[in-house]
Amino acid sequence: MANKYKILIVEDESSILSFIKATLEANEYQAITADTCKNGLMMYASHRPDLVILDLGLPDMDGTEFIKEVRRNSITPILVLSARTEENDKVSALDLGANDYITKPFGTAELLARVRAALRSKRNSESSGTTGGEFTLNDMIINYDKRSVFVGNQEIKLTQTEYNILALLSFHSGKVLTYAFIINQIWGYVDGTSTKKLQVNMSNLRKKLGSKPGENKYIINELGVGYRMQDEF
Ligand code: CA
């Protein structure tokens, strides 16, 4: 297959590294690897991959150092692997500019879905401006010009804030947006009441879109991390 995507895997656990490499290669991706943060940065600089899959716990430096370095001048998607139970590590990785995370252990299907979503976000950001003024997800349509939202044939009446949150999530569909990122984008500042304000708006928004409590229709609640709009049904 021509035009193979090149994916850099930075991971020090050899069993996980070879699992990811084999899975990617079996699916027509080109995989290159590094087992330390330093080697990862060298491979990144010389190969310019389309996507990076990055373990956070590396022997020489924390994986977040890799994100900081790459994000100085590049928007290459970064998918973080986290074995840690602390939500804080994922959140700080996302806030530093990682696109998404996978929690270990994970299977082939989840890995490939996340890889596809991250590569799609790369294509979308490269072609931004040429895409139409509409976003469609299953039976939901957002019209950005009219700021209107339809589910099925029915128009959904949203407040300005609810609409802004929905539009923001749709611009980044497939990607987890952290609470802090959403709050900053919507209100421009974070204070003691921000998280509560976001949760209230989010719960009203999801209700209006027809989601029942605990159901992940259109928008997935990533507990302790943030929210993600689905990008495939
Ligand atoms: Ca590790």
Question: Distance (Å, rounded) from C-alpha 65 to C-alpha 62?
Answer: 6
Compare 132 and 94 and report the one with higher pLDDT: 94
Mean pLDDT value across residues 41-65: 94
Residues of the chain with CATH 1.10.10.10: 134-229
Mean pLDDT value across residues 130-139: 77
Q: How far is the CA of 81 from the centre of ligand 1 (A)?
A: 9
Average pLDDT for the chain: 88
Question: Distance (Å, rounded) from C-alpha 67 to C-alpha 71?
Answer: 6
Tokens of 78: 């970064």
pLDDT in tens, 138-151: 899 999 888 999 99
- The CATH classification number of 134-229 equals 1.10.10.10
Mean pLDDT value across residues 51-77: 93
Across the chain, the runs of DSSP E, i.e. the strands, are 6-10, 30-34, 51-55, 78-82, 100-103, 134-137, 140-143, 148-151, 154-156, 176-178, 219-222, 226-229
Q: How far is the CA of 53 from the centre of ligand 1 (A)?
A: 12
- The CATH classification number of 6-126 equals 3.40.50.2300
Protein residues within 5 Å, CB atom, of ion ligand 1? 12, 55, 57
Q: How far is the CA of 128 from the centre of ligand 1 (A)?
A: 35
Q: How far is the CA of 86 from the centre of ligand 1 (A)?
A: 15
Compare 16 and 188 and report the one with higher pLDDT: 16
62: nearest Cα among 45, 40, 44 = 40
Q: What is the pLDDT of residue 212?
A: 76
pLDDT in tens, 22-39: 999 999 999 999 999 999
Does the predicted model carry a pTM greater than 0.85?
no
Q: What is the pLDDT of residue 162?
A: 95
Q: What is the pLDDT of residue 133?
A: 86
Q: How far is the CA of 33 from the centre of ligand 1 (A)?
A: 14
Residues of the chain with CATH 3.40.50.2300: 6-126
Rounded to whole angstroms, what are the CA distances from 45 to 50, 131, 132, 164, 181?
12, 30, 34, 37, 28
Q: How far is the CA of 76 from the centre of ligand 1 (A)?
A: 21
Tokens of 23: 């899975």
Q: Decide if 204 contacts 162 (C-beta within 8 A).
A: yes
